[in-house]
Each structure stands twice: as C-alpha cells, then as structure tokens.
C-alpha cells in the first residue's frame, strides 16, 4: 500500500503565494509542508529584474527573490520538499493529495498555490522543435543564441520584456505582433520601439517554424495583406500569456471558463471548506508577485482560522464522549 502521512496544513506550489503562505502558516504553528512542484520558485525563476516588489529599492533578480522567499519560509520552520501533486481526493476530510504518484499526504487544510504556465501557439512545428530552438523562456534559453537572429511572438509586457532581454544578447530580435498595436504597458512599448535591433512585424501571425532538427527560420503571414515572409532565425520564443495550473482540480473546485479557481471575494476560500487558493491560479487580473504574496498571506490566515475551528470542534466532541 502507498505510504500515507498526515499533516495539518499542506501547501502546493512554490511561487510568492506558496512561500508567503508557508511563512504565515509556520508562524501560526500549523507546521506546514510545502511541495514545490515542477518549477521550484515558479514563474519568477524565469524572469530577470523585478523592480516593482516593495522592499528591494535597487530591484532584484527573480530567481534570487524566490531563493530569499524559500529561505525565509524555511527559517520560520516550513517543511519544504521537492515533489509534485499528481492526484487529489477532496471528497472527505482529511483531504488527500498524492505526491509524485507514490505517496499520499492527508491534510486538514489545503492551500493551492500552483500558479500558471506559459501558453503555446499549438502549431505542429512549434511543438516538434520545442527544446530545439523553440522556447517559452527567453531568460532561460536566450544565452544559447548569443549573436544570432531570433524571433519572439507576443505583444504583452512579457513579450516586451523578453524582447528587450534578447536584444542585449542577439544580433536582431524579430517581434511578431498579431494586431496593429501592443498590449504591453506604454513604457515597455517605448523601450521596444527605441531599441534599434528589435524589428516589429505588425498584423503578423506565425505560419510555421522551419527546421528539421533545430530552428532555422520562421514563416509569418500578414493578416491584412496575406503576404508571407520567411525570416532566418536560430530560435523562436513564445510569450503569449499563461494558463492557470488547475487541471488537478477540474470537476472538483469551481473555476471560471479559463480554468482560474474561484474564491469567495475578499477571501481565499474555494467552494470546499478547508481548501484555499492563492496566487496566479486564482487571479487572472493582477498576477503580480506582490499580489500573489498578499493572497498567500490571506490563505494562511484563512487556514489558521479554519484549523482552529476544526480543532475546537474535535475537542468539544471528544469531551462529550
Ligand atoms: P498578456 O495576456 O498580457 O499578453 C499576451 C500577448 O500575447 C498579447 O499581446 C496577445 O495578443 C498575444 N497573444 C495571445 N495569444 C496569441 C497567439 N495565439 N498568437 C499571437 N499572439 C498571441 O500576457 P503577458 O504574459 O505578457 O502578461 C501577463 C500579465 O503580467 C500582464 O498583466 C502584464 O502586465 C504582467 N507583466 C508585468 C511585467 C512587469 O510589470 N514587469 C512583466 C511581465 C508581465 P493580443 O494583444 O492581440 O491579445
């Protein structure tokens, strides 16, 4: 039979939301166990400078910030473990979460902080060449294409930030934008437009990434004129947004159409009592490190209150016997 362990408070996910929940839950004596998931540190580990997180007046690199969060959670006593939640059973208390398909954790309270993941275009050539020059993380993989021409698709803040990052490494960055304007903030757009080696292709969509074993070019189509252009490149970066990592809870927790877990406004409570959600898995609007951290704090406080009430009820029941 698979191994089972019982904890008071289980946290899954290790971005700003998960680690902040761990800090607060530790300080509240809930002895939280946190499983880091497939990408310890979450999305901030694939970004560069974070300039908008209060408390870092000179900015901080995303991966370093997540190491700081982890260190702080550990120092407070959180039990931080490598591992991935692979199944859940929330049909009865205590709630059960399977880790790495091999062991089960039973928890009185569950905090879901599984974040969001990069979206893909879902064209055959993009999938086939993934890891061979196709990437959703310029900061992770840009270095391998130093001095080469590369392309990036997307027009939000992520695409703008990554295009700027790549412009410092690569000879030319071809930025493929599907409309005649960008979604990115004004300041980021200005930076992109003022960078000489970023070339923007407006109203353009990716038809195919060309290459047999590695990326060699990309063919784009102008959606106004239908004109096709093939651009020789060494790498193709995709930066078109994110999808919440909530698949594990489909059919169990209430979600919106895009898969974001629904919480009661002003709280981290899901439709199952004792199950809380925080960070990007439940936030499609703000999606900032600081808002994720704030919601992680809320989840831990909600869990603390819930566990307190649960223990009180259990003690009262025991006294009646
Ligand atoms: P966004 O959802 O903001 O932008 C996604 C972009 O990808 C849009 O321009 C969209 O085009 C484009 N896109 C989506 N699907 C396709 C497709 N199939 N083909 C081509 N293009 C496509 O995501 P981001 O990841 O950029 O940003 C997410 C949030 O994080 C935002 O709120 C952003 O402000 C924030 N952020 C902040 C940063 C900072 O402050 N330093 C850095 C990075 C992100 P269209 O516009 O036509 O819909």
At 3, the pLDDT band (50, 70, 90 cuts) reads confident
The whole-number pLDDT of residue 46 equals 72
List, by residue range, all CATH 3.50.50.60 domains of the chain.
Answer: 3-117+242-320, 120-238
Query: In this structure, are residues 152 and 176 in contact, taking their beta carbons and an 8 Å threshold?
Result: yes
- The DSSP call for residue 130 is B
At 1, the pLDDT band (50, 70, 90 cuts) reads low
**Residue 254: Cβ within 10 Å count:** 11
Ligand 1 contacts CB of residue 121 (under 6 A): yes
Q: Whose CA is nearest to atom 16 of ligand 1?
A: 240
Ligand 1 contacts CB of residue 83 (under 6 A): no
- Give the pTM: 0.77
Buried/exposed 270-306: b ≥16 CB within 10 Å, e otherwise: bebebbbbbbbbbbeeebebebbbbbbbbbbbbbbeb
Ligand 1 contacts CB of residue 290 (under 6 A): no
The whole-number pLDDT of residue 29 equals 97
- Residues forming a β-bridge with 218: 209, 231
Say whether 87 sits in a helix, a strand or coil: strand
Per-residue pLDDT tens over the stretch 167-179: 999 999 999 999 9
As to burial, measured by CB atoms within 10 angstroms (0-12 exposed, 13-18 middle, 19+ buried), residue 176 is buried
| CATH annotation of 120-238 | 3.50.50.60
Reply yes or no on whether the pLDDT at 203 is more than 60.
Answer: yes
Query: Which residue of 116, 154, 208 sits with most ligand 1 atoms within 8 Å of its CB, as the best mutation to test the pocket?
Result: 154
Q: Whose CA is nearest to atom 40 of ligand 1?
A: 157
Per-residue pLDDT tens over the stretch 248-292: 999 999 999 999 999 999 999 999 999 999 999 999 878 889 999
Per-residue pLDDT tens over the stretch 20-35: 999 999 999 999 999 9
State CA 260 to chain mean position distance. Answer: 12
Which CATH architecture best describes the domain 3-117+242-320?
3-Layer(bba) Sandwich (3.50)
């Amino acid at each position: 039979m698979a191994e089972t362990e019982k904890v008071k408070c289980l946290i899954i996910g290790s971005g700003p939301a998960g680690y902040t929940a761990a800090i607060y839950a530790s300080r509240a004596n809930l002895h939280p166990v946190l499983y880091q998931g497939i990408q310890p540190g979450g999305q901030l580990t694939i970004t560069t400078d974070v300039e908008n997180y209060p408390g870092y007046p000179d900015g901080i690199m995303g991966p370093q910030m997540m190491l700081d969060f982890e260190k702080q959670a550990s120092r407070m006593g959180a039990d931080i473990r490598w591992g991935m939640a692979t199944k859940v059973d929330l049909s009865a208390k205590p709630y059960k979460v399977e880790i790495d398909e091999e062991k089960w954790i039973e928890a009185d309270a569950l905090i879901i902080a599984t974040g969001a993941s990069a979206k893909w275009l879902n064209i055959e050539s993009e999938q086939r060449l993934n890891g061979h020059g196709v990437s959703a993380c310029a900061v992770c993989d840009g270095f391998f294409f130093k001095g080469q021409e590369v392309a990036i698709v997307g027009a939000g803040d992520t695409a703008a930030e990554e295009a700027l990052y790549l412009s410092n490494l690569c000879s030319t960055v071809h930025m493929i934008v599907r409309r005649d304007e960008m979604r990115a903030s004004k300041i980021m757009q200005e930076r992109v437009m003022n960078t000489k080696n970023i070339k923007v292709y407006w109203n353009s969509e990716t038809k195919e990434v060309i290459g047999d074993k590695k990326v060699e070019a990309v063919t784009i189509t102008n959606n106004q004129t239908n004109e096709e252009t093939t651009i020789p490149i060494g790498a193709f970066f995709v930066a078109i947004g994110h999808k919440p990592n909530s698949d594990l809870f489909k059919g169990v927790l209430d979600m919106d159409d895009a898969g974001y877990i629904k919480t009661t406004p002003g709280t981290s409570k899901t439709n199952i009592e004792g199950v809380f959600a925080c960070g990007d898995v439940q936030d499609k609007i703000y999606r900032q490190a600081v808002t994720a951290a704030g919601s992680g704090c809320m989840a831990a406080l909600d869990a603390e209150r819930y566990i307190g009430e649960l223990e009180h009820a259990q003690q009262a029941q025991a006294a009646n016997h």
